[in-house]
Amino acid sequence: MVTLDDRAGSRDLYLPLIKEGVPVQLGRMEYGDLSWTGRGAQGIPQLVGVEYKTVEDVIKCIGDGRFAGHQLPGLIQTYNYVWLMVAGRTRSGPNGVLQVAHISGRWYDAGFGNRQFRYSDYDHWLTTIELRGGLRVRRVGDSLEAAASINGLYRWWTGKEWEDHRGHLAFDESRDLELALLRKPPLVRRMAKELPGIGWGKSAQVAAAFGTAIEMVAATEQEWSDIPGIGKTMARRIRKEMGYPES
């Protein structure tokens, strides 16, 4: 369940989130505009937060410094993972001036008080918040895209276990054969990833535990179950897959 702050601004996301199929409830939050509990590594729950701002909000944050001085520390201390989601279309206008798209489709120069902003000011501030401030930054076109992006984040965190997200671990088979042979993972790991319940992620732990393919094939059920994340049931299935009779 996603908790959405019930105050103006963040509340604008309520109906778009409902349309996206996100289970959402209104509440009052001290920091951030949305939060939920996700599945972290080794099953440890992680509190996820999203700070939602329009481009105009960000310009004000740059101008008055309140976000960096107050909200940023609170977000970092409150959540295990936190995103700053910025809604609005921007471009670099004449002489590098930051321009923002109005709902009418027209572009206007952005500023705060008497200060006019350059696109580089805006872009560098977001980069600093991401790289030095510790927030993950996402830019979206409008509240509808924001809701879709939040839905994607929520489903990622709650749809399956942390260890089951393996898209970053796929073998790269696009290189030429010579380069692939030079960088091929060790045999024990390539064999381990084919075993039931192991995959590419756990194969590194298997390779660390046994060292060679011969040691892995000869390993007892107890030695398999001693590897973190495997356990006795999976160890039994692995041994059966390798042709050993069930004990």
Residue of higher predicted confidence among 183 and 67:
67
128-148 pLDDT per residue, tens:
999 999 999 999 999 999 999
Nearest to 222 by CA among 209, 208, 236: 236
Is 146:13 a contact under the CB 8 Å cutoff? yes
Lowest mean pLDDT among 65-69, 83-87, 164-168: 164-168
Q: SS3 of 226, please?
A: coil
pLDDT confidence band for 228 (50 / 70 / 90): confident
3-state secondary structure 128-172: HHHHCCCCEEEEECCHHHHHHHHHHHHHHHHHCCHHHCCHHHCCC
CATH number of 167-241: 1.10.150.20
pLDDT confidence band for 183 (50 / 70 / 90): low
Q: What is the per-residue pLDDT for 172?
A: 52
CATH of 2-164, one of 3.40.50.150, 3.40.50.10130, 2.30.110.10, 3.40.630.10: 3.40.50.10130
Q: SS3 of 85, please?
A: strand
28-64 pLDDT per residue, tens:
999 999 999 999 988 889 999 999 999 999 999 988 8
Is 8:26 a contact under the CB 8 Å cutoff? no
Per-residue pLDDT at 231 exceeds 90: no
Per-residue pLDDT at 178 exceeds 80: no
pLDDT confidence band for 199 (50 / 70 / 90): confident
Per-residue pLDDT at 176 exceeds 80: no
Place of tokens 């960088």: 183
pLDDT confidence band for 179 (50 / 70 / 90): very low
pLDDT confidence band for 181 (50 / 70 / 90): very low
| The Cα angle at residue 95 between residues 91 and 112, in degrees rounded to 5 | 65
Q: What is the per-residue pLDDT for 37?
A: 96
Residue-range domain boundaries for the chain? 2-164, 167-241
Q: How far is CA 193 from CA 126, 128, 177, 186, 216, in A?
A: 39, 39, 21, 11, 12
Q: Round to whole Å and give the CA distance between 31 and 74.
A: 6
